[in-house]
Amino acid sequence: MKYPAASFEGAVGGASPGAISLTLVVLALAGVAAHRVWAPASPSAAPPATVSSAPVDAPTSPPAAPPSTAASAPVDPPAPAAPSAELTLRPAPAMSHEEASAPVRSRDLWYEGADGYRQAVSEATSDHRAMAVYFRTDWCPYCKKLDRGLLSDSAVQSYLQTVVKVRINPEKGSAERQLERDFGGTAYPYFLIVPPGRRLGERVEGVTRAIDGRWRQRTPSEFIAECRRAAG
């Protein structure tokens, strides 16, 4: 602030130097205070600008539809399964203790004696097969020849597997001798074929007469043919 020079000089003209110094100090302080009071205030910081955000576009996909409250269509029950075409297997009837424990008999084996004859009859009746009944003794040379010859031939043995066969030695007991009488045996060897369902059979010789009248042994095929003929 500026003061008129006349006024300042009039005010301090008659004053002492000390008073003048004090006056100057007071005036200086007053000027500083006035300057602070009257100085224009510095511009205050502007408030932050309020920027309005741009509106956000709504999603373009439509909102999910609420669950339908309509009643669902009735579902047909599943069709019953077609019956299986497979056959139901029934369990086989249980075997008796005797049948279960009886060993399987090979057809290569011969029944022996009177007891064997009864078993052979039972088997032949059950299977409806022919029987071969062979009467022989241990000392008979012609029996041994028949055993080593025709009855040992593979073709004859294959045929004999189709029949039930039994060997009987009449010298072993009374039951065996009675069987020989029943079948009309007169000499050894005595080989017979009994047809299925028959009690008595027909004798089949291991030998035959040749054209010259002499006896000769039959061939295996001739022997088999005679056995088949006798079996019917």
Torsion of CA 93, 95, 96, 100, to 10 degrees: -170
Q: Using alpha carbons only, how large is the chain's radius of gyration in Å?
A: 72
Residue 213: pLDDT band with limits 50, 70, 90 = confident
d(C-alpha 47, C-alpha 65), whole Å:
47
Residue 93: pLDDT band with limits 50, 70, 90 = very low
* pLDDT tens digits, one per residue of 175-193: 999 999 999 998 999 999 9
Average pLDDT over residues 155-174: 97
The answer to whether 140 and 191 are in contact (CB under 8 A) is: no
The answer to whether 132 and 227 are in contact (CB under 8 A) is: yes
Q: In the predicted model, what is the mean pLDDT of the chain?
A: 74
Dihedral sign (CA 144, 148, 154, 156): negative
Residue 15: pLDDT band with limits 50, 70, 90 = low
**DSSP H helical ranges for 88-160:** 97-101, 113-127, 141-148, 154-160
Instruction: Identify the CATH class of 106-231.
Output: alpha beta
pLDDT for 7: 47
Spell out the domain ranges in the chain.
106-231
Residues of the chain above pLDDT 90, percent: 47
Higher pLDDT, 164 or 67: 164
